[in-house]
Amino acid sequence: MRILHTMLRVGDLDRSIKFYTEILGMQVLRREDYPDGKFTLAFVGYGGERDHTVLELTHNWGTESYDHGNAFGHIAIEVEDAYQACDKVKAAGGKVIREAGPMMHGTTVIAFIQDPDGYKIEFIQKGTAGY
């Protein structure tokens, strides 16, 4: 068994695809409209679905925003340099909500950004985590 994807509901699919591809460097792996169900799915990631876990961006036509509730936490992405990754996000107009630096109770270098729909994404600097 393995994890295939995580699904996020998004209000503006093109805006979200732009964020995940242009700012985070993912690729659009596939995109399909479902007119009978009035939704579109787009799968994005750093590699093909056969070998990597990816994100499924789901846009329900006519829905511009969602209540995230209080159960979902964040998506984590390993980056070479969390400081540079934050600079890149800011330069592209993205939102950094916790600047890069060591964890409060540890040495892992992390940062948090937010996607256009308000989902939190944690950057974890390669080589600083305990795994």
Per-residue pLDDT of 29-53, as tens digits, reads: 999 999 999 999 999 999 999 999 9
| Structural domains of the chain in order of their starting residue, each with its CATH number | 5-60 (3.10.180.10), 75-125 (3.10.180.10)
Identify the helix (H) or strand (E) that includes residue 126: none
Backbone angles phi, psi at 43, to 5 degrees: -105, 130
pLDDT score, position 73: 94
- Angle, CA of 5, 8 and 10, to the nearest 5°: 145
Give the pLDDT score at 127.
94
The mean of the pLDDT values for the chain is 96
What is this structure's pTM? 0.91
Q: Is 122 designated active site?
A: yes
Count of other CB atoms within 10 angstroms of residue 8: 20
Q: Is the pLDDT of residue 70 over 90?
A: no
